[in-house]
Amino acid sequence: MPEVDYVIGNSYDKIPKSRAKVDRSGAYLKQHDWTLYVDVLGDPDIVKKVEFHSGTETEVETFFERRQLKPLPPIAMMPNVNFGVELELSTSPNVTVSDIVRSIRSGASVSIKDMTSDYGGARSRNDIWKIMSDASLSCSVSNPGCNKFELVSPILTGGDGLGVVDHVMRTLKDLGADVSINQSMGFHCHIDASSLTLADKLTGIERVANDVLVKGAEIGTNV
């Protein structure tokens, strides 16, 4: 059994009555936002369940991670908006970054380069697809010898850009189980807002705050 480094803590916030929701019984306001958490340092996949013993064998609280993420409703893509995507991925040990580069180059017909050994140079290129190193990524317990990397797009535009992303994603999908993700990995989308009006920007910020930050925080407290 591997050693596990972890941090146990809790957070608390008193919610004003004007913002508090009613509990399931309908009799009380939920004014006490208290979260008990266990942060695993390293690979989060190594822990599947946490139990807190309150003193006796019958007083055991069991916590499972539960993140029931729901997709955001789609919105129309503005035709001239520039954007870029970053995909944090891993492959099985027998599939190298060079294999990924060759597959995407031939399957999606895009310019792509392995720049895992040139981080500074990769940061300065926004005209090609590139594969970069990312020290924040870790392999899962089930795939300890994985190859981990970040797939970064060039600057893309509108629906045509989304079509290119679709071709690249389909190429990765064709590789099947050889490409995977774990809890240390994520997806980022950068959108050029320079052409948007102030009203459009405020609407976008409000939507992100509500759909991603607020709802994401609510999901994150379900432990």
Is 195 within 8 Å of 80 (Cβ atoms)? Answer: yes
Kindly state the average pLDDT of the residues 151-180. 88
pTM for this predicted structure: 0.59
Question: pLDDT tens digit string along 170-185?
Answer: 898 888 768 888 888 8
Q: To the nearest 10°, report the CA torsion of 60, 61, 62, 67.
A: 180
Domain positions in the chain are 1-75+196-223, 82-191
Question: pLDDT tens digit string along 19-42?
Answer: 888 877 778 888 877 776 666 666
List, in sequence order, every residue forming a beta bridge with 49; answer none if it has no partner: 64
- In the chain the first and final C-alpha atoms are separated, in Å, by 24
CATH of 82-191, one of 1.20.120, 1.20.140, 3.30.70, 1.25.10: 3.30.70
Is the pLDDT at 104 greater than 90? The verdict is yes
Is 107 within 8 Å of 172 (Cβ atoms)? Answer: no
Kindly state the average pLDDT of the residues 130-151. 89
Confidence of residue 214 (pLDDT cuts 50, 70, 90): very low
Query: From residue 92, how far is each of 30, 104, 138, 178 by CA, in Å?
Result: 46, 17, 13, 5
For 119-157, give one letter per residue: b (16+ CB within 10 A) or e. eeebeeeeeebbbbebeebbbbeebeebbbbbbbbbebb
Pairing state of beta strands 129-132 and 147-152? antiparallel
